[in-house]
Amino acid sequence: MTKKMAYECLVCGTTLGGPLGLLFHLFGVRRSMHNPNVCNRCGAHMQEGRVIELSVIFADLADFTEMTNRLGPERSYEVVNAFFKMASDALIKNDAFIDKYIGDAVMAIFNAPIPNAKHARGATTAALDIQEGLKSVSHALGLDLQARVGIATGYARVGRLGSTDRKDYTAIGDVVNLASRLETFAKPGEVIVDGKAFSQVAEDYPDLIPEELNVRGFAEPVEIYRIGKSDRENAAISVQQPDPLATRQKVGLGTVLFTIFGAPCAVAITLSPLAIALGLGSVMGALSPAFNTLDAAQIRIPLQVFAVLAAIINLYVIRRGNLQRQQFDTSALTAHEKYKVNFVIGLSVFSLLAVAYETYIHIFVLGMSYFSPTL
């Protein structure tokens, strides 16, 4: 079955489908590998750098070490790859942001960067979809595969972490550690949900009895609920999924410009290659009077107008990004991002100064009309 993809980024609203989506794709704006319903520019959003409530899920294959020894590396690779594809589809369908793959495990977060008030329900539904989807994977591979899943809800700091050269969007907090620990306590085919996450789905499992686990790293026992196969079959859990293709917003010129030249949400300044090319082009346009063949008014004036517009667009995108980064207290730019930003600023400022200088010489020094054919 073909997966439905959102027409627009669920975070910033950038068009991802249709002709405009194809145009943006040419300029480096595409669907994120973490969730195809989010654009690759949205590694940050309005909550970056903040502590927010979210749900975290860890899912892995049960008895993977034993299976690897039994099947060998090639067959094990095939199994894990099939599991990841199925699990990723289940997570994405429920608006998860896939944080990372670790060995045979997948970690995902809900409510960041895609806002979802019922994030714990979404995580639980995704977990059940993973357990159900594993039946088809097992049948296709001729193996009896089972997964263990842990879910926890709590507060974490979200944002981009990494080196000065590369940063990835992730979450840091006790809730992440708890979800990872709970997954190790789960039996094959079982989902363990902490008490806070369970509160959003309690009405679907009225007969489940809470337990308390002593979890390493946590001073107090943790209340958990175990959702097994029989519980899943008897539950009436239902999450209404909106059709991601149903909503199409009108796209303004400003959105198009910001998408092409920089991050549309402008929280992390991610200048596209076109922004740099535009900066170089503005310099060439500004220097056009230096070449006799380009000094004719019908050539010089359009080139200089282009140079000024290109410089202003680039400077405005950068300025807008800086203001929003300060407002939302986001993480620092990487060294590569800083280099690109400073490079484009330098090109833009040089272009504006060059056009201003040439115009001054043309009018006030030589006493000629700006529209004169040549100097």
- Taken in order 336, 313, 252, 45, the sign of the CA dihedral is positive
Tell me which amino acid residue 86 is: M
Average per-residue pLDDT for the chain: 76
Instruction: Assess contact for 131 and 151: CB atoms under 8 A.
Output: no
Residues 6+ apart with CB under 8 A from 204: 235, 236, 237, 238
Residue 27, beta-bridge partner list: none
Q: Give 119-131 pLDDT, tens digit per residue.
A: 999 999 999 999 9
Predicted pLDDT of residue 354: 80
Q: What is the mean pLDDT of residues 15-24?
A: 74
Predicted pLDDT of residue 235: 60
Q: Give 273-314 pLDDT, tens digit per residue.
A: 555 555 555 556 556 555 555 566 677 777 777 777 777 877
Predicted pLDDT of residue 33: 72
- Could you tell me where the DSSP H helices lie in the chain? 18-26, 64-71, 73-93, 119-141, 174-185, 195-198, 229-234, 253-261, 273-286, 297-328, 335-360
CA distance 192 to 172: 21
Instruction: Assess contact for 232 and 208: CB atoms under 8 A.
Output: no
CA angle at residue 230 from 228 to 235, to 5 degrees? 95
Q: Which residue has the higher pLDDT, 96 or 159?
A: 96
- Which pair of structure tokens corresponds to residue 278? 């535009």
Tell me which amino acid residue 145 is: L
Tell me which amino acid residue 202 is: A
Residues 6+ apart with CB under 8 A from 227: 124, 127, 128, 190, 191, 192, 193, 205, 208, 235
CA distance 177 to 118: 21
Band (pLDDT 50/70/90 cuts) for residue 44 is: very low
DSSP string, 127-169: HHHHHHHHHHHHHHHTS---EEEEEEEEEEEEEEEE-SS-EEE
